[in-house]
Amino acid sequence: MFSNIKTSKANKEIVSSLTNKLGLGAENTISRIALAYSISLERKLDLKDIRDSGGKEYSVKVLFGEYVDFYIGLMSIHYDIYATNKDIVRYIKMHVDDGLELLNIEFQSNHNTTGFEFIASKIDVGLMELI
């Protein structure tokens, strides 16, 4: 089991900026949303493209709270690997970084969208796919 995850140096500023702009809670909340957003796009990231680890550091407990097994399970299913695979932490880090970058692009191009509106629209899209 791993104990912490560090974002890329470039994403240290992005997570702070998004946290202030979106008003959805602490930086760890934005990082959770970023991870979920990245995974929701159903892309598989390549480990050889992993970025630096010079950014924001989160302990596993702070980043995932009591849901660490849920997030590890998501990653295991997404990559079809065992939950004990040593690369799980690297995939999580990559998806947090990827999601932060995607959210930053999203909110740069939609200045007036609030964090709540963004999440509600993504939930709406997900519900429509069920119909």
pLDDT tens across 24-36, in order?
A: 888 999 999 999 9
Structure tokens at 16: 């702070």
Q: Which CATH architecture describes the domain 4-130?
A: Orthogonal Bundle (1.10)
Strand partners, 5: 58
User: Which residue in this structure is represented by tokens 């992993």?
Assistant: 50
User: In this structure, how many other beta carbons lie within 10 angstroms of the beta carbon of residue 28?
Assistant: 18
Q: Give the three-state DSSP class for 27.
A: helix
pLDDT tens sequence across 52-84: 999 999 999 999 999 999 999 999 999 999 999
The alpha-carbon radius of gyration of the chain (Å, integer) is: 14
Closest by alpha carbon to 15, among 98, 112, 113?
A: 98
Give 126's pLDDT tier (boundaries 50, 70, 90).
low
